[in-house]
Amino acid sequence: MPRFTRPDRPAIAYDYRPGRGPVLMFLPGYMSDMTGSKALALDQWAAGQGRAMLRLDYAGCGASEGRFEDQTLADWRDDVLALIDHVVAGPVLLVGSSMGGWLMLLAALARPDRIVGLVGIAAAPDFTEWGFDAAARGALVRDGRIVEPSGYGDAAYVTTRAFWDSGQAARLLNDGIAIDAPVRLLHGQADPDVPCAIALRLAAALRSADVQTLLIKDGDHRLSRPQDIALLIATVARLLDTP
């Protein structure tokens, strides 16, 4: 698997397949990687369509170098931007899952001339603000990290003070978000981790006039069921075909 190397940051593992049209770039969620079911299903579809696609592991995740606990939200945003700048050419359509939905917004703000569309899957911008109660914030300040059980695997969720501070410095929902590209937001109404109200707040904050929010009544946070993945692929296909 190729790696993008840099003198000042860990090497990033990625999988890039050239093809036609905008490059589809999948951004995983927190403590996830490029081998998730949504990323692989989208990649398989793109391959069948002859479309370009890139999957990546952020530093400290999956096959990339580095320690997970050393990374911040800004670091992972810069990982995404490094691949946009140095690995792929031309227009890019970002697909972001959970925290990846926050990163896709930050990347679009940083590279407005390259990003031609966004698809959020349970996008979680500003989760350092609304996702931590007073006790968790206190523990972060006191101990520098918190460890919580994960509902999605054996590994516990670790959040560091540095990551939390980085997230707080990158909040978007309280102001207008100066993104003009078309945006599609898929969100489960049964999501226990990211309230579906976040999708509505995000849609309202985006400057783009072409924003569509689709709420899946029985959808959970992962949106990884066959019908959810079919909806994701159909959404990406329609967005790519939009003149």
pLDDT one-digit tens code per residue, 165-178? 999 999 999 999 99
Residue 79 bears catalytic tag = no
Strands (E) located in 33-84: 51-56
The pLDDT, as a whole number, for residue 242 is 77
Instruction: Inform me whether the pLDDT recorded for 154 exceeds 70.
Output: no
- 141 — phi, psi (to 5°)? -70, -40
Determine the Cα angle at 26 with ends 11 and 117, to 5°. Answer: 125
Question: For the whole model, what pTM was predicted?
Answer: 0.96
* β-strands 145-148, 157-160 pairing: antiparallel
Rounded to an integer, the average pLDDT of 20-39 is 96
Q: How confident is the model at residue 149 (pLDDT cuts 50, 70, 90)?
A: confident
Residue 97 bears catalytic tag = no
The pLDDT, as a whole number, for residue 234 is 98
Average pLDDT, the chain: 96
The pLDDT, as a whole number, for residue 157 is 83
Question: How many residues are recorded in the chain?
Answer: 243
Residue 241 bears catalytic tag = no
- Active-site option among 32, 64, 98, 166: 98
- DSSP labels, 140-204: HHHHSEEEE--TTSSSPEEEEHHHHHHHHTT--TTS-B---S-EEEEEETT-SSS-HHHHHHHHH
Q: How confident is the model at residue 151 (pLDDT cuts 50, 70, 90)?
A: low
Please write the tens of the pLDDT for every residue from 68-118. 999 999 999 999 999 999 999 999 999 999 999 999 999 999 999 999 999
- Active-site option among 57, 78, 126, 191: 191
**3-241 CATH, one of 3.30.300.30, 3.40.50.1820, 3.40.50.720, 3.40.190.10:** 3.40.50.1820
The pLDDT, as a whole number, for residue 5 is 97
Q: How confident is the model at residue 121 (pLDDT cuts 50, 70, 90)?
A: very high
**How much of the chain exceeds pLDDT 70, in percent?**
98
